[in-house]
Amino acid sequence: LQQQAEQTCRQLLRTQEEHEQLLQAAVEQAEGLEQSLRNAEAMLAERAAQLRDAQAQLSRNKLLIEELRGENRRFAMALQAAELKQKSMEEKNQLLEEQASALKQLIGKITPASLSG
C-alpha cells in the first residue's frame, strides 16, 4: 500500500509538472498574443491618423478645386467679354477702312477735277 501510495504520489507530481508546463506555455502564448494585439492596435492607430490626414488634405483639395473653378469661370467670362470687344473693334476697324477707301476714291475723283479746273 505504501508503495502504491508513493507511485500515485509520483504520478501526481508528474501530472502536476505537465500541467504547470502547459500552463506556462499558455501564459507565454497569451503574452505573445497580447503583444501582437498591442502592435496591431498601434498600427491601426497610425493608419487611422494617416487616413484622417489624407481626408483633411482631400477636403483642402476640394476647396481649392472649387476656388479654381470659380476663378476659371471668371476668366472664361472675361475672355468672352474680350472676344466680343475684339469683334466689335474689328467691325469698327472694317467700317473705318471702308470709309477711308471711300474717302480716297472721293479724293481721287476731286483732285483731277480741281487740277483741270
Q: Could you list the pLDDT tens digit for every one of the 117 residues in the chain?
A: 899 999 999 999 999 999 999 999 999 999 999 999 999 999 999 999 999 999 999 999 999 999 999 999 999 999 999 999 999 999 999 999 999 999 999 898 887 767 765
**CA quadruple 48, 50, 51, 53: dihedral positive or negative?**
positive
* In a domain? residue 102: no
The domain in which residue 59 lies consists of: 1-84
**What secondary structure letter does DSSP report for 80?**
H
Residue 108 lies in a domain: no
Cα distance between residue 115 and residue 117, in whole Å? 5
**Cα separation, 29 vs 16, whole angstroms:** 20
93, part of any domain: no
pTM across the whole model: 0.53
- Asked if residue 43 belongs to a domain, the reply is yes
Among 26, 27, 7, 29, residue whose Cα is nearest residue 15: 7
What confidence score (pLDDT) does residue 67 get? 98
pLDDT for position 116: 67
